[in-house]
Amino acid sequence: MFSEPNGGYSYEDCKATADWLLSQTDIRPLVGIVCGSGLGGLANMLKDQVVFNYKDIPNFPQSTVHGHAGRLVFGTLKGRPCICMQGRFHIYEGYPLQKITLPIRIFKLLGVKTVVLTNAAGGLNQDYKVGDVMIIKDHINMPGFAGNNPLVGPNDERFGVRFPCMSDAYDRELQQLAMDVGLELGYGDFLKEGVYCVLGGPSFETIAECRMLHRMGADAVGMSTVHEAITARHCGMRVFALSLITNQAVMDYESKEKANHEEVLQTGKDRAMQLEQLVSTIVTRIEHSNNYA
């Protein structure tokens, strides 16, 4: 059932995993949510939960990072069927990109139409504060510049085309919806929109790197999300993504700040309630305002 040419999984491998999951639950998710570092609590908003540990799912990688529980949660959000990854995979864990993005293709084969990606990120934009929520309007794929793209390898047209467009990677209507919902909830003070840049990690950035990324046009920097967004767009799902600014990227040699994962997780805890409200209201409105998913 499982083969790994070029570190990838065949359509049949993905289908076998999706079919296995579908045989274990009656929930047929239309929205797939990926929880960022320290944001696993987002899964708590799902009712009627059916939970799988990653270790029990055929072909699934294992979470190795603190703050990523390693559980796939099916459930409903105000009646709407959803699936939530409590724990994602990163390049620095040693996984090939095709493995990191396997769950996104499984989402597709489960019937998911809209993917909601969340992450913890360092703020490069000097107007950003810790605790801000950035709606991602675009990305810079630094590993991609060197050929590290999840779509490298033979292309299976059953997923999508060889050369997918990325100028519309982040759905503009969903960005507007998120902004509207955020303003209604009274989150205007900490809601931003900007460009997310992915690096391989696991080391945080040097001061010179942060300065360069900022000049390049990035507002926030992290180690995830972009590979998932590319894979989701390739197979025709809509993508909405947001970053929680968990720390200020250090841009100044006088600064005493030091990026660290504990601060990242703590900021996630501090903003958990608002993020849950924001994401759950967006997901509900997708259903109410449109037939997107």
Ligand X SMILES: Nc1nc2[nH]cnc2c(=O)[nH]1
Binding test (CB under 6 A) with ligand R1P, winner from 8, 29, 32, 36: 36
**63 labeled part of a ligand binding site:** no
Question: Where in 81-140 is the site for ligand X (CB under 6 A)?
Answer: 120-122
Q: Which does 233 bind (CB under 5 to 8 A by kind): ligand X, ligand R1P, none?
A: none
Q: Does 59 bind ligand R1P (CB under 6 A)?
A: no
Query: How many of the other CB atoms lie within 10 Å of CB of 172?
Result: 9
| Options 45, 247, 249, 251, the catalytic residue | 247
Residue 201 CB-density burial (10 A; 0-12 exposed, 13-18 middle, 19+ buried)? middle
Active site residue 37: yes
Least separation in angstroms between residue 261's CB and ligand R1P is 4
- Please say if 170 is a catalytic residue: no
70 backbone φψ class: left, alpha, beta (φ>0; ψ -120 to 50): left
Kindly report the length of the chain.
293
Is 89 known as a binding-site position? yes
Check residue 204 and report its DSSP letter.
P
Report the partner that residue 249 touches, choosing among ligand X, ligand R1P, none (CB closer than 5 to 8 A by kind): ligand X
Catalytic: which of 9, 18, 45, 93?
Answer: 93
3-state secondary structure of 139: strand
Q: Which residues make Cβ contacts (< 8 Å) with residue 30, sequence separation at least 6?
A: 80, 81, 82, 111, 112, 113, 114, 293
With CB under 6 A as the contact rule, the residue among 112, 223, 245, 250 that binds ligand R1P is 223
Q: Which is nearer to ligand R1P, 120 or 181 (CB)?
A: 120
Q: Clarify whether 261 is annotated catalytic.
A: yes
Select from 18, 120, 239, 279 the one that contacts ligand R1P (CB under 6 A). 120
Footprint on residues 226-265 left by ligand R1P (CB under 6 A)? 261, 264
Q: Has 255 been labeled as part of a binding site?
A: no
- Name the residue nearer to ligand R1P (CB basis): 59 or 267: 267
Choose the one of ligand X, ligand R1P, none that binds residue 205, judging by a C-beta under 5 to 8 angstroms depending on kind: ligand X
Eight-state DSSP code of residue 190: G
- Is 224 labelled as part of a ligand binding site? yes
Burial 63-94 (b: 16+ CB within 10 A, else e): bebebbbbbbbbbebeebbbbbbbbbbbbebe
**CA-to-CA separations, 100 to 95, 124, 223, in angstroms, rounded:** 6, 25, 12
> Of the listed 155, 261, 272, 276, which one is catalytic?
261
Q: Phi then psi for 98, rounded to 5 degrees?
A: -65, -30
Q: How far out from the chain centre does Cα 53 lie?
A: 19
Task: Considering only the stretches 10-18, 130-138, 244-252, 285-293, report the one whose residues sit in contact with ligand X under the rule CB under 6 A.
Answer: 244-252
Task: Output the DSSP codes for 230-271.
Answer: HHHHHTT-EEEEEEEEEEEPP--TT------HHHHHHHHHHT
Asked about 93 being catalytic, the answer comes back as yes
Going by the annotation, the residues of the binding site for phosphate are: 37, 68, 88-90, 120, 224
User: Which positions are catalytic?
Assistant: 37, 68, 90, 92-93, 120, 223-224, 247, 261
Binding site for ligand R1P (CB under 6 A): 36-37, 65, 88, 90, 119-120, 201, 222-224, 261, 264
Going by the annotation, the residues of the binding site for a purine D-ribonucleoside are: 205, 247
